[in-house]
Amino acid sequence: MDIKSIILAAGKGTRMKSETSKVLHEIMGKPLLGYVLDNVKNIASENFVIVGHKAEQVTDYVEKNYKNSKTILQSPQLGTGHAVSMACKYLENFDGNILILCGDTPLITEETLKKFIEYHNSSNSDLTVMSAIFDNPTNYGRIIRESDNSLKCIVEEKDATPAQKAVKEVNAGIYCINWAKVKGAFSDLKTNNAQGEYYLTDIIAWGKNSGLSVKAYTMDENSEIYGINSRINLAEASKIMNQRTLSKLMTNGVTIVDTDSTWISEDTQIGTDTVILPFTYIEGKNIIGKNCKIGPCAHLRGGVEVADNIKIGNFVEVKKSKINSNTNVGHLSYIGDSELGERVNIGAGTITANYNPLTKEKSKTVLGDDVKIGSNTVLVAPVILEQGVNVGAGSVITKNIKAWSLALTRSPLRILENWVKSKLK
């Protein structure tokens, strides 16, 4: 059965205190919404992202990065049920399952979503809610079950009785619904609640009253539904995601010397026997090969491809570059928009000057195999150094250089003997 998703991303996020949409705040270089969209990319054939606050920002991000996704404006914003109803006109003839998620829950995983959908299908459910167990369920909607353990309803905290507030099973905010059977609920929702809004949770009661099969699936790891409502939440979610990523890498044969000071994005692939030294920060999408050594205090900014047997030294920054095997990048260097061949050695303090501040264009630096760059060199892009070129320390390279040449740009050394003593008299 075909699956499409509706992702709720219209909220203002007042507690973020930001001019940026809440769902566009980033963890390791990727917006929160990006994590959700990436985790449904292998599940849903099409995604509908409901936007509201800073809608232009969110729409621009979605259109540039996700071809199978469409944004829909919710204005005014009258609650979560109203948000989902915004997609109804695009789904009039759809006969499949709709997966409903929140755009501010970046920790949800594709594996959990697949288990959820499998449960929905195997149990012949028409409407399934994902739930989680919390020792402290404050601020979550409570899952209320019937005596036979089937789902009765979801009660928001503001509307809950003391007995209902004591329930530790909560709504995870993720739904799987048989659209053909449940779509009628969205024209029947009412606003008779403390907030005066159209609650998505009310489709549970509607489904039961309509004789549909309504169930709840309890997820394994409750941290996956951690929602972002403040900068404090953002920092905590970042830590959870990072530790999850580091654990996976170490399980797969990567050495992380200090897990407390190392940050690596979940979109970074790293080969076995690579060592990541402390205070290294790797964001965005990257591929790092086997038997590499990175750091300490290195920064990979995304779009980096590193082959096997590479050394990236301390205080080195690399961005949007390809580094081929057996190459060393010395400390205190910047490599951006570059391609480095095999067996290249980059001396300390080397800079690829890739940005033109007047045209705002970025140009490429290409170094062939066996190139050796002396310390404190500036390579002014666009520039190509062919195989075997050696560059003397302290040079500024502004032209292409033929293979096996030596390049030097040094002023003659002047020595004024006894100059210091003459000034001290």
Look up 331 and say whether it is catalytic: yes
Q: Tell me the pairing of strands 3-9 and 383-385.
A: unpaired
**Please, what CATH class does the domain formed by 3-225 belong to?**
alpha beta
Q: How far apart are CA 80 and CA 101, in angstroms?
A: 11
Q: Model-level pTM greater than 0.85?
A: yes
CATH match of 243-407 with 1.25.40.10:
no
Q: Flag whether pLDDT at 194 surpasses 80.
A: no
Q: How far apart are CA 262 and CA 274, in angstroms?
A: 14
- Identity of the amino acid at 60: D
Q: Flag whether pLDDT at 158 surpasses 80.
A: yes
Name the residue among 352, 282, 272, 337 with its Cα closest to residue 309: 272
What pLDDT, on the 0 to 100 scale, is given for residue 67? Answer: 94
Of 99-103, 187-191, 229-233, give the lowest mean pLDDT range: 187-191
Domain boundaries in the chain? 3-225, 243-407
| Secondary structure string (H, E, C) spanning 295-325 | CCCCEECCCEEECCCCEECCCCEEECCEECC
Q: How far apart are CA 206 and CA 177, in angstroms?
A: 13
Region 203-217 average pLDDT: 94
- Confidence band of 388 (pLDDT split at 50, 70, 90): very high
What pLDDT, on the 0 to 100 scale, is given for residue 196? Answer: 77
Q: What are phi and psi of 3, to 5 degrees?
A: -125, 135
Q: How far apart are CA 345 and CA 335, in angstroms?
A: 12
Residue where the block lists tokens 């010395």 = 330
Q: What is the pLDDT of residues 321-355, one digit of tens each?
A: 999 999 999 899 999 999 999 999 999 999 999 99
Q: What are phi and psi of 345, to 5 degrees?
A: -125, 120
- Confidence band of 97 (pLDDT split at 50, 70, 90): very high
- Mean pLDDT estimate for the chain: 95
What pLDDT, on the 0 to 100 scale, is given for residue 8? Answer: 97
Residue where the block lists tokens 């449940």 = 182
Region 181-203 average pLDDT: 87
